[in-house]
């Protein structure tokens, strides 16, 4: 967890105020334009930040798991959210009131530096995802997205429908089905009704565009926690 990487003195500023909150797949943690009252520190599961388009359509611009926190990307001082936060993979989070977190930041330069590094890596993920969506083939984008989720999930198999994936990538469900078949035929994934399983991690990395490696490389350079990878 992001909190675990803090110095003991900084953890003590937050830990007495934490409480656990489970979240279900598809649950909205907060919506764009809302005042964010809590900071979420995922312990398990994946949260997607969604940019809202016309007619309430949306597309994922970032995914956050145990390596990060949700609710300060729009500013720690109870500012209004710029994006919608939706649970992509069910899990549980430690939550802290935004005011408590803001006070802790004011009192600790080390915490401010740690948060700045995370938000820089998150902003890079948003930028890279936008470029990826505009320039790369859908099969490459799908492979990159599945790797991003796989890094943050606790299993090779996770509950996702084709409609879920289509919504994240901003494409039609039928298109996801067609492109997903290519990955299945190559033996990179298996899928069934409402689930996807990564069967060849290395092959999936080779099928993805360079955006996946670029984001992980930046996280390493910044010294921020990176989601774990599993090799098959």
pLDDT of residue 13: 96
pLDDT band at 230 (very low <50, low <70, confident <90, very high): low
Domain boundaries, the chain: 3-109, 133-222
Q: 204 Cβ partners below 8 Å, 6+ apart?
A: 143, 146, 147, 150, 183, 188, 189, 198
Report pLDDT digits (tens) over 191-222.
Answer: 999 999 999 999 999 999 999 999 989 888 88
Q: Is the pLDDT of residue 81 over 90?
A: no
Phi-psi region of 103 (alpha: psi -120 to 50; beta: other; left: phi over 0): alpha
Report pLDDT digits (tens) over 82-130.
Answer: 899 999 999 999 999 999 999 999 999 999 999 999 999 999 999 999 8
CATH number of 133-222: 1.10.10.10
Q: In sequence order, what DSSP letters do the residues of 107-150 get, joined into one string? A: H-HHHHHHHHHHHHHHHHHHHHHHHHHHHS-HHHHHHHHHHHHH
What's the CA gap between 10 and 105, in Å, rounded?
9
Same fold, 3-109 and 133-222: no
Which CATH architecture is the domain 3-109 placed in? Sandwich (2.60)
Report pLDDT digits (tens) over 35-58.
Answer: 889 999 999 999 999 988 877 778
CA angle at residue 217 from 145 to 68, to 5 degrees?
65
Tokens of 186: 């190559």
Q: Residue ranges of the alpha helices (H) in 45-108?
A: 98-107
Report pLDDT digits (tens) over 122-162.
Answer: 999 999 998 998 899 999 999 999 999 999 988 999 999 99
Q: Is the pLDDT of residue 228 over 90?
A: no
């Amino acid at each position: 967890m992001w909190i675990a990487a803090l110095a003991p003195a900084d953890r003590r500023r937050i830990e007495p105020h934490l409480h656990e909150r489970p979240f279900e797949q598809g649950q909205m943690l907060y919506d764009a334009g809302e005042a964010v009252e809590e900071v979420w520190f995922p312990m398990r599961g994946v949260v997607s930040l969604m940019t809202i388009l016309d007619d309430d359509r949306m597309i994922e611009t970032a995914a956050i798991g145990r390596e990060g926190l949700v609710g300060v990307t729009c500013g720690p001082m109870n500012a209004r959210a710029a994006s919608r936060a939706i649970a992509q993979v069910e899990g549980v989070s430690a939550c802290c009131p935004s005011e408590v977190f803001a006070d802790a930041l004011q009192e600790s330069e080390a915490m401010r530096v740690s948060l700045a590094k995370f938000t820089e890596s998150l902003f890079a993920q948003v930028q890279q995802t936008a470029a990826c969506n505009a320039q790369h083939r859908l099969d490459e984008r799908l492979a990159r997205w599945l790797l991003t989720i796989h890094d943050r999930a606790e299993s090779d198999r996770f509950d996702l429908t084709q409609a879920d994936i289509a919504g994240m990538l901003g494409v039609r469900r039928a298109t996801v089905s067609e492109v997903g078949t290519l990955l299945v035929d190559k033996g990179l994934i298996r899928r069934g009704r409402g689930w996807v399983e990564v069967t060849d991690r290395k092959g999936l990395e080779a099928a993805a565009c360079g955006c996946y490696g670029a984001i992980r490389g930046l996280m390493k350079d910044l010294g921020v926690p990176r989601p774990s990878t599993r090799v098959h």
